């Protein structure tokens, strides 16, 4: 819709998952007379949503609890008011057919993220929300009784405002961090920001030695454990994807929620104990006796993975036979299969990140309403707040629950103001 200068009861800044849900929530509570605007900087709403879950949108998770997030106490407050099951029921009531996969992950049955966006669009239309696109807000003035929201296309005024501009992750999809600056100008503080749920870089001078060029693009399933100062700080099982620059894959994404450098040890056979593995390798050496040593891992690991494991323990394969492996060599091979070391120096960057670690300080917002404790009538929802969860539908669940709550609360505050 073309830009204008208009007045609204509730204006929501940011047309992502949280913002769309906030606008629907506010309009539902205000009823047909309500005037709700959704202001989006991009040409259309929901661009990031279409990219989620590899285009399939893992929109929720049946196992989600507040404890899965970095701010469990705050999230618990929001989930009390806007429970994940309630959100899933709302989606179902609005026509979204769900399909459950491993670990409680929920996807639209169509296999396409566009089904989630279609449902949201329909709700926005049904509730008569006014959507402005190409409408990037660069300034918010809190001038009672109005918030004035300025964009280069014009401005709108609103009695209450919900900030749902996302963080800094994947800026190519609209979330460029500008919303955080808007809140800072209003007096809010922003915690330290890091890219999260993303690949990790290995130091450039070690990439060759680690064999990353040869391994690039290969996937293994195993356990990745992150060590700092010789102490394991986290471990995750799942897919590990080798990249020229470092490590990727879901297991590594989860570890990236703890920002900073460290050492990752990959266990390629997490279900097999070290003694069992040693027996297995000894038996294998006997069975494969007569075969060239360079073929030792053929049929057990991908060729490049097997080659690199031998390189790590500096096993010379020239003119040797599998049957000639010594006990020390078998122990060294078992050791590297259970603990293949990859030093990492940090996240790949914002472009590849799925979420922002850090954001608006949650202590400055009431968890039961999401209203700012500093600026009455101002609310925040979604990734712009310092809340993040693991891969698996947890971050969208946060966006839906916090968005709906902020929209409901903004409508309630507007109503209360009007009744004076």
Ligand X SMILES: Cc1cc2nc3c(=O)[nH]c(=O)nc-3n(C[C@H](O)[C@H](O)[C@H](O)COP(=O)(O)OP(=O)(O)OC[C@H]3O[C@@H](n4cnc5c(N)ncnc54)[C@H](O)[C@@H]3O)c2cc1C
User: For helices 114-126 and 17-30, what crossing angle results, to 10°?
Assistant: 30
| CA–CA distance, 249 with 197 (Å, rounded to integer) | 9
Least separation, in Å, of the C-beta of 22 and ligand X?
9
The verdict on 115 binding ligand X (CB under 6 A) reads no
Least separation, in Å, of the C-beta of 41 and ligand X?
4
The one among 10, 11, 12, 16 contacting ligand X by CB under 6 A: 16
User: How many Cβ atoms from other residues are within 10 Å of residue 351's Cβ?
Assistant: 12
The one among 29, 35, 48, 243 contacting ligand X by CB under 6 A: 48
Which of 39, 241 has the CB closer to ligand X? 39
The verdict on 35 binding ligand X (CB under 6 A) reads no
Which of 35, 136 has the CB closer to ligand X? 136
Q: Where are the alpha helices (DSSP H) in 4-113?
A: 17-30, 47-51, 72-81, 84-93
Residue position matching structure tokens 């020229």: 244
The verdict on 41 binding ligand X (CB under 6 A) reads yes
Coil, helix or strand at residue 232: strand
Which of 81, 282 has the CB closer to ligand X? 81
| CA–CA distance, 241 with 256 (Å, rounded to integer) | 14
Contact string (CB under 6 A) for ligand X, positions 125-164, x = contact: -----------xx--------------------------x
The one among 399, 405, 406, 410 contacting ligand X by CB under 6 A: 399
User: For helices 84-93 and 394-418, what crossing angle results, to 10°?
Assistant: 90
List, in order, residues 6 or more apart from 66 with CB less than 8 Å away: 72, 73, 75, 76, 79
Count helices and strands (H / E) in the chain.
12, 19
Least separation, in Å, of the C-beta of 266 and ligand X?
24
The one among 130, 175, 307, 308 contacting ligand X by CB under 6 A: 175
Q: Are 243 and 199 in contact (CB under 8 A)?
A: yes
| CA–CA distance, 65 with 103 (Å, rounded to integer) | 13
The one among 355, 360, 387, 413 contacting ligand X by CB under 6 A: 355
**β pairing state of 231-243 and 378-380:** unpaired
Residues 282-321 that bind ligand X (CB under 6 A): none
Least separation, in Å, of the C-beta of 272 and ligand X?
31
Residues near ligand X, by CB under 6 A = 13-19, 39-42, 47-48, 51-53, 57-58, 136-137, 164-166, 169-170, 174-175, 178-179, 354-355, 382-383, 393-396, 399
């Amino acid at each position: 819709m073309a830009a204008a200068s208009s007045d609204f009861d509730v204006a929501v800044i940011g047309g992502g998952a949280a913002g769309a849900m906030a606008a629907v929530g506010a309009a539902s509570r205000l009823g047909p007379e309500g005037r709700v605007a959704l202001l989006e900087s991009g040409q259309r709403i929901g661009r990031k949503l279409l990219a989620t879950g590899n285009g399939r949108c893992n929109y929720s998770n049946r196992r989600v609890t507040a404890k899965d997030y970095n701010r469990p106490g705050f999230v618990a407050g929001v989930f009390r008011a806007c429970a994940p099951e309630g959100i899933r029921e709302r989606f179902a009531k609005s026509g979204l057919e769900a399909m459950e996969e491993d670990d409680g992950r929920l996807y639209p049955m169509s296999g396409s993220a566009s089904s989630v966006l279609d449902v949201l669009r329909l709700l926005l239309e049904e509730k008569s929300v006014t959507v402005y696109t190409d409408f990037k807000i660069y300034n918010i003035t809190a001038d009672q009784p109005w918030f004035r929201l300025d964009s280069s296309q014009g401005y709108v005024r609103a009695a209450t405002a919900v900030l749902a501009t996302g963080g800094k992750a994947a800026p190519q999809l609209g979330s460029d961090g500008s919303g955080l600056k808007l809140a800072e100008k209003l007096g809010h503080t922003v915690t330290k920001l890091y890219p999260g749920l993303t690949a990790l870089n290995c130091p450039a001078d070690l990439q060759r030695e680690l064999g990353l060029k040869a391994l690039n693009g290969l996937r293994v399933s195993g356990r990745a454990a992150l060590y700092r100062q010789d102490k394991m700080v986290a471990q995750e099982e799942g897919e590990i994807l080798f990249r020229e620059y470092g490590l990727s894959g879901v297991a590594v994404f989860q570890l990236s929620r703890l920002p900073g450098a460290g050492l990752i040890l990959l266990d390629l056979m997490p279900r097999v104990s070290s003694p069992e593995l040693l027996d297995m390798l000894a038996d294998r050496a006997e069975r494969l006796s007569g075969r060239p040593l360079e073929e030792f891992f053929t049929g057990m690991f991908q060729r490049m993975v097997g080659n690199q494991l031998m390189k790590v323990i500096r096993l010379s394969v020239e003119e040797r036979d599998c049957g000639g492996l010594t006990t020390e060599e078998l122990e060294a091979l078992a050791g590297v299969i259970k603990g293949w070391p990859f030093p990492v120096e940090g996240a790949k960057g914002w472009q590849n990140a799925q979420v922002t670690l850090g954001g608006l300080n949650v202590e400055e917002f009431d968890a039961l309403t999401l209203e700012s404790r500093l600026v009455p009538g101002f609310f925040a929802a979604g990734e712009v707040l310092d809340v993040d969860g693991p891969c698996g539908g947890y971050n969208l669940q946060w966006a839906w629950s916090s968005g709906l709550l902020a929209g409901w609360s903004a409508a309630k505050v507007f109503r209360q103001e009007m009744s004076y």
